[in-house]
Amino acid sequence: MRGSWVPKIASALLLLALSVPAPAAARTADRSTVPAADPAAAPADWTPPLSTRGRWIVDANGDRFKLRSGNWHGASGTWNGSGSADDDAAHHAGENSHRIPLGLDRAPMAEIVASFQEIGINSVRLPFSNEMIRDTRPVPADAVTANPGLEGKTPLQVYDTVVRALTDAGLAVILNNHTNTTRWCCGVDGNERWNASQSDGTWENDWLFMARRYRDNPRVVGADLYNEVRRSVWDDPNWGLGDGHDWFAASQRAGDRILTEANPHLLIIVEGINWTGLPVDGFPHGRPTLEPVRDLSHTLVDSGKLVYSAHFYGYTGPRHSGATGIGETSDPRYQDLTPAELVDVLNRQAFFVTGDMDRHYTAPVWISEFGVGGREETGAAPRAWFERFVDHLIRTDADFAYWPLVGRHENRRGNGWALLHWDAAGRRMAVHDGDDWRSDAWRRLVETPGRTGHVPPVTRWAMLSPDHGDFVASRRMRALPDWDPGARKTACPDGLRLAGLSHTGNRGLCTDAGAAALDDPGGGHEVVKDERHVVPGRDWASGHTKLQCADGQFLAGYSVRGAAVSAALCRKAAPGTLTAAGGRTVWFDRGDNRGTSPRGGDFARGHYKGQCADDEYAAGIAWTGRIGSSRTPDALYCRPLS
């Protein structure tokens, strides 16, 4: 967020009215696929595609790839929402991007890209708007005076050219759906949610279009699903309520669709919730960021593709909108916190996701926006905050993206936030020119050694949450007919097995601990709804109904109707991976039973849970239908891995 959030309803309604752009002429997106990057153009020291191992992003060789990124903004819009879009004064900081990445009127694209590399960038977050995708109006000639080859192109075609230039230089590109409409973010502006100015279906289909468009370019590595999800005039976004404002559900659905229908190689990047509530003293309000992830995390159909992200600016705060005047509260800003308080808040809001190992939510966190004013920023508080924040990025070896990379200057004066500025004559002003106080901090950030080299495979943990519908994270099961019509179904991602269940709440935990690949390569599964596989004389849950897998099978999912168990999903195991001898009953109907040091994290906070040990597999679920019971899971049958 780089602008104040205005909460009072009258002001918000006015802003909302001003935020609706004039209808564009009938437009149709160019559905062609953009050619792949030329791998010989600029050899890079990394091999796409990217994936994740625990808290680290790695390349195709398993080597750590740290996102040292910046934001090249403009294609998502710079118009403030009032006045003529042709008037520079109606654009943020007077910088009219003309619906394309900023600076192409002042410097050749090759010079801009080379400047990114010069200051230590290896990747670029490239914002776009949904409106830009369909905008067939050619960009004006004065928007590309330093790049005349772009004259007559649409914004999307310019975006294509920028992507190609960045990737040909060896840089990684992360596509960022920044806004619905092509205007400056962020406030009550019609861009508060992914579906604020459009339908969920339009948003998802636009993502499929963009993911397919660049799928032949291996250095396009990520899909940053939506920017700064926040409150609209009347409604808050939420994380897991199952309604039309549920950001968890929307991002889960879009991420799975991108991976299964468009491009399986992309990282799926999910930002936390940026703001809920009215920023008025005495009313509930705040910045949830990634805190909800601790209790409800994403499980994509492809393990190793999820990255979480968060934004931090000194003038905002954990409960401060960043506003001055209307919308300002008495809550502290991040720059008002002591160094110890700042570290505590940052870890609580975001960095715990990387700091906590072996949890269902453990993943890389990309700080995809942070920044501060440059030469003209004289305030002690924002300067100190920036130094402290950079210290924390270094301390945690975090992936990051500075906002913004490119800006304008005249006589070395201007907006000042960018690391690189060009004036009307094409003269560059850079962060390391000698008069920018941020230079030392930036150099420390990009040059301080972090983890490098090979990252070994890690144990994977994943949550199943059929709270409001199916939660089938298995590609194999998604391709098959409905195996329990009318029930809410779950399935662990391929390669993982069920390890834990909650007594109430319907949550499950999957893992590959102790056995990286149990699945029989030939497939095969069975849906069990009765006691057909319970061996006489081996009643492992007396008085209870037992849904048990056959020998040679393991539990990989389950289905529920309301709170009640409906069926067990049993998958055939590869020969020699399971043992049919022995077994123990893990009861969790009256308390937690997850062992002394359970891994995976609390996958159903506030509910009793049972979990097999890391060297076991779950082979059955027991429940009872006696009076007073809701037929919820009471016990797991855990058997040793071979």
Q: Is 127 helix (H, G, I), strand (E, B) or coil?
A: strand
Rounded CA gap, 139 and 126, in Å?
Answer: 18
Token look-up 């230089």 returns 169
Percent of the chain exceeding pLDDT 90 equals: 87
Rounded CA gap, 492 and 557, in Å?
Answer: 6
- In this predicted structure, the answer to whether residue 91 has a pLDDT above a threshold of 80 is yes
For residue 172, the surrounding DSSP H or E stretch is: strand 172-179
What is the predicted pLDDT for the residue at 18? 28
Spatial contact of 10 and 29, defined as CB atoms under 8 Å apart:
no
First-to-last CA distance in the chain? 52
Q: Is 114 helix (H, G, I), strand (E, B) or coil?
A: helix
21 φ, ψ (degrees, to nearest 5): -70, 155
Q: Give the residue extent of every domain in the chain.
A: 62-447, 461-640
What is the predicted pLDDT for the residue at 33? 77
Across the range 558-584, mean pLDDT stands at 93
Tell me whether strands 365-369 and 399-402 are parallel, antiparallel or unpaired: parallel
For 505, left (φ over 0), alpha (ψ -120 to 50), or beta? Answer: left
The CATH number fitting domain 62-447, selected from 1.10.10.60, 3.40.50.150, 2.60.40.1930, 3.20.20.80: 3.20.20.80
- In this predicted structure, the answer to whether residue 16 has a pLDDT above a threshold of 50 is no
Spatial contact of 616 and 558, defined as CB atoms under 8 Å apart:
no
C-alpha gyration radius of the chain:
26
- In this predicted structure, the answer to whether residue 26 has a pLDDT above a threshold of 90 is no
What pTM did the predictor assign? 0.95
Q: Tell me: the pLDDT tens digits for 165-209?
A: 999 999 999 999 999 999 998 878 889 999 999 999 999 999 999
Amino acid in the structure at residue 218: P
| Range of lowest pLDDT (383-387, 450-454, 484-488, 518-522) | 518-522
Spatial contact of 232 and 193, defined as CB atoms under 8 Å apart:
yes
Spatial contact of 464 and 492, defined as CB atoms under 8 Å apart:
yes
- In this predicted structure, the answer to whether residue 496 has a pLDDT above a threshold of 90 is yes
- In this predicted structure, the answer to whether residue 4 has a pLDDT above a threshold of 80 is no
Q: Is 166 helix (H, G, I), strand (E, B) or coil?
A: helix
Amino acid in the structure at residue 209: F
Distance set, CA 267 to CA 162, 192, 440, 465 (Å): 20, 23, 31, 21
Spatial contact of 274 and 228, defined as CB atoms under 8 Å apart:
yes
What is the predicted pLDDT for the residue at 188? 81
Rounded CA gap, 126 and 177, in Å?
Answer: 9
- In this predicted structure, the answer to whether residue 374 has a pLDDT above a threshold of 90 is yes
